[in-house]
Chain A
Amino acid sequence: MSAPGAPLSLAWFAGRRMLRNAAKRKLGRLREPRYMVGFALGAAYFVMLFARPGGRAGRPPRAFPLPAASGDVLLLGGAAGLAVVTLLIWLFRKGQPSLGLSEAEIQFLFPAPVSRKVLLRYALLKAQLPVLLSTLILALVSGRRGGSAGILTGAGVWLLLTASHFHNLAVAFTKARFQELSRAARRTAQTATFAVAAGVLSILLLSLGAALIAGAAGVGKGFNESLDAFTKALRTGPFGALPFVLLAPFRWILAPLLAPDAPAFLRALPPALALVVLLYAWVARTAVRFEEATLAQAGRRAEARARRAAGRIDAPASVKSRGRRPFALPARGAPEIAIVWKNLIAWKRTSLSRQAAIVSALVLAAFAASSFLNAPRADAAAGIASAACLGITAFLALITPLGFRIDLRGDLEQAAVLKTWPLKAERLVLGELGAPALVSALYSWGGIAIALAIASGRAARAAFLGTTQTGAQFPFQRLDVLIPVALTVAIFLPGLVALILVVQNAAVLAFPAWFPAGRKRAVGLEQSGLRILSFLTTSISLLVGLVPAALLAAPVIFLTFRLLGFWSLPLAALPAALALFVEVAFGAYLLARLFERFDPARDLNS
C-alpha cells in the first residue's frame, strides 16, 4: 500500500487480495475433473447467453418499435415512480446509518488507526463492487443489441445505482442526525421532514392520477395521442408545472439510462453526474455515529449467510408457528411415515389439511369467477386459462423435484444418524422420497382441479342460462376433452415425478464427489455447470425411462382412439404409469443398495 490509511488504497488492497485468493481457490479446484467439467459447461452457457449476438442466425435482435411519445412517457413515468419510492423512504425508513461492512471488516477497521472519513470512503468504494457487477451484467445483456448500447446502458445503470445508494445513506444519516438533536429540535426536524415528504408525495400522486385519467381519455383517439395527453397533463395538471419541476432530479438521473443514442446520453450526463456528486457531498458532510448500526447490520447479515450456508433461505420458523405440523404423528406405526413427516416440516411448517383447504378455496374461486364472468370472449379466455393451468401444473411438477431437496439429497449430510435408524434401507429410501412426491402430487392435482374448475364454470353457466358456449372450437374449453386430458395428467404425473426423484437421488448417492449432498446451494461458474450436467443426466435418464411407458401406451391409444376419442388417453396412461412405478420400485431398490454402500466418512468429505 502506497499511502497507509487512504480509503482507495485500503479498498483496492482488500478487493485485490479477495479477488486474487478467490481466483486462486477456484482455479486450484479446477484440477478436480468435476469442477473442470462444471466450469467448462458453465462458461459455455454464459458465453452462449451473453456473447452471442442474439438470434440463431447470428443477427442482433430487432429493437421493438416504440411510438414517438414513448420516450417522454418512459422518462416521466420512471421519474414519477422513482420519486414515489424516494418519498416513501423519507417517510417510513428508520435512521440506521449502517456502512454495510462485514464482521471481519469491522473487526479490523474499526480499531485501526484510520479516520472516520477514511472508513466512510472505504465503505462507499466497497459498495461499488456489487454496483459495478450489476452494471457489467446489464451492459453485457444490452451489448447484444450491438454498437455502443452496452456501454451507454452500463453507464446509465451505474449512475442510477450509485445515486440510489448515496441517497439511501443520506436519508439514514440525516435521520440518525435528528436523533442526536435536543428533544424539541428533533421533533421540529422530524415533523418538518414528514410534512414536506407527505406534501410532495400527495402532489405527485394527485398529478399522476390526473395524468392517467387524461391519458385513458385519449385512448380512443390513438396510442400516441393518449401518451401525449398523459405527459401534457403532468405539466399542466391541477398543480400547474410544479410536479414537472419536482420531478427534475429524478428525470436527470434517469435520462442517461433512457437516452436513445450517444449524443442524447452526453447531453443528459452533466446534470446526472452533478446529482451524484451532490449526494456524495451530503453523505460525506453529515457527521453521524455509524458504528452501532454497522455492527448490528453485520450481525444480521452473518446470520442470514449462515442460514443460506445451511441451505435455508427463509428465516427460522417463528415460535408461534412451531406448533404447526403437517399431520399428527402417533408414536406407533410405520416408521417411514415419520421420515415423510420430518421432511414435510423441512419444506414448510404447515398442516396438510390447511394446504388442502387453500387449494380447495382456489378451486372454488376459479369456478365462481369463471361462471360469473360476463364478457364477449369469456368462453375462449376460459379455455385458454384451463389449458395454461394444465401446462403450468405439468411444468412445475416436473421442475420442482430438481430443486426440492427434502429427501435423501438433503438428509445425506446426516447419513451417520440415518444409518442408526432401525429401518431397512428400502423402507428408508421410500420414506425419504415420500415428502417431495406427496407435495408434487398434491399440487399437481390441485392445479388440475383448478383447470377443470375454470372450464366447468363456463359449462355450468351455459347450462344454467340455457345458452351454448361460444368459441367451442377451442378443444380445452370442452369438458369432454379437458376431463380426459386432465385425468391423463393426474394419472401419469406422479409416476413421472417419482422417477425424477429417483434419478436425482441416485446421482447424489452414486456420485457424491460430483453432486454433493445437503440442502446447501453452492454458487459459482463451475456449480452452474454441474447443475446443467445434473439436468442433462436427469433428462437423458428420463427419456430412457419413458421408453417402456410409451411402448405400453401407444398401442392402447392406437387401438381405442377411434372408439373412445380423448378418453383413450387416460386409459393408455394406466399401463404407462404402471411401467413408471415398476421403474421407480426398481430404482428404489438400487437407491437402497447405494445407500448401504454410502460411507459418510469417505463420501461426505469428497
Chain B
Amino acid sequence: MIEVEGLVKAYENVTAVDGLSFRVARGEVLGLVGPNGAGKTTTLRCLAGILPPNAGTIRLAGFDLVAEPVESRRRLAFMPDEPRLFEYLTVEDHLAFTARMYGVPDASARAAVLIEELELSGKERALPAELSRGMKQKLVVACGLLHDPEVLVFDEPLTGIDPGGIRKMKQTIVRRAAAGAAVIVSSHLLPLVEEICGRVLVLSRGKAVLVGTLDEIRAGAGGDTSLEEIFLRVTGNE
C-alpha cells in the first residue's frame, strides 16, 4: 500500500533522508521514530508530495507519486505536526472545502460523523483562532479522514490533545487501519508507538537503523527490553 524505495532527500549541505526503503501493508500501522533531525518529518513530507525527492520512488495505493501525483494524493491524508488551517474558514467551511476538493459523496453525513467522533460538536462556526491547539489538530484529522483515504500519514498526532482526546485519537487510528488503510505514525511518544503500531522503523541520520515488529525488535535486542531502551541504544543516545 505504501512502497518506498531508495528515497533520498538532500538540502544544500545536508542529506536528510539517505536511501530509505520500507513498505506498509493494508491494515498495518507503522511507527516512525527517531531522534530530532533524524529525517522523520522530511520523509513524511516527501510521502505527502510536499517535497520532491532527489532520488527513489514512492508508491501510494499503487500509484507512483511522481508519475501520477493527482491519483496518489487522492488516496492520501497527511496530518502534519503543526495544524495548518485557513484562518478565515470556519470548521464547517474547512469540511465543505475538503469535500469539494476530494469530491466526497454524502459529504454532509460523513462530516457530521467526524465532528461527533472527534468531539468538535458545537464548534462548527468557530474560526481556527478560536480553537485550542488540540481542537485544531482534531479539525485537521477530520478533514484528512473525510475522503476515506487508503493511506494515512500522521506526524505527532497527539500534540496538544487532552487525555480523553488522546484515547479517541488512538482509537480512530486503529479503527482506520482495521478498515484497511495503511497508516504511518511518526511520534516521539514511544509508549504510543508500542501501543498502536504493529511495526516500527527507527530512523537515524536519514537511514533506517531498525525495522520490524515489536516482538522481532525485542527478540533482536535480547529479550524483554522496552522500546525506549532499544531506541536509545540504536540511535546512540544512551
Interface positions of A (Cβ within 8 A of B): 310, 312, 316-317, 319, 322-323, 325, 329-333, 335, 337-338, 341-342, 345-346, 414-417, 419-424, 596, 599-602
Contact = CB atoms under 8 A, between A and B. Distances in A.
B86 interface: yes
A319 B122 CA distance: 12
A366 to B, nearest CB: 32
Contacts of A421: 73, 101
B127 interface: yes
Given A325-B93, A332-B100, A345-B89, 11 more contacts: A329-B96, A329-B97, A331-B96, A342-B89, A346-B88, A414-B86, A416-B80, A416-B84, A419-B48, A419-B50, A421-B73
A333 to B, nearest CB: 7
B51 interface: yes
Interface stretch (B102-110, B185-193, B197-205, B220-228): B102-110
B45 A416 contact: yes
Contact of A322 (B48, B74, B125): B125
Contacts of B80: 416
Given A345-B88, A416-B84, A417-B84, A423 B97 contact: no
Nearest to A311: B87
Contact of B88 (A317, A333, A599, A600): A317
Given A317-B127, A333-B100, A345-B93, A414 B84 contact: yes
Contacts, number: 90
Tell me which of A337, A342, A415, A422 has the highest count of chain B C-beta atoms within 10 A of its own C-beta.
Answer: A422
A319 B52 CA distance: 40
B49 A419 contact: yes
A322 B90 contact: yes
A335 B127 contact: no
Interface of B: 11, 45, 48-52, 69-71, 73-74, 76, 78, 80, 84, 86-90, 93, 96-97, 99-105, 107-108, 125, 127, 129-130
Contacts of A332: 100, 103, 105
B105 A338 contact: no
A307 B73 CA distance: 33
B199 to A, nearest CB: 24
Contacts of B45: 416, 601
Nearest to B99: A331
Nearest to A321: B125
18 contacts: A312-B87, A312-B88, A329-B100, A331-B103, A331-B108, A335-B100, A335-B101, A342-B93, A345-B89, A345-B93, A416-B48, A416-B50, A420-B73, A423-B70, A423-B73, A423-B101, A596-B52, A602-B11
Contacts of B107: 331
Contacts of B70: 422-424
Contacts of A310: 87
A509 to B, nearest CB: 15
Nearest to B76: A420
A99 to B, nearest CB: 27
A341 B76 contact: no
A316 B50 contact: no
A335 B73 CA distance: 14
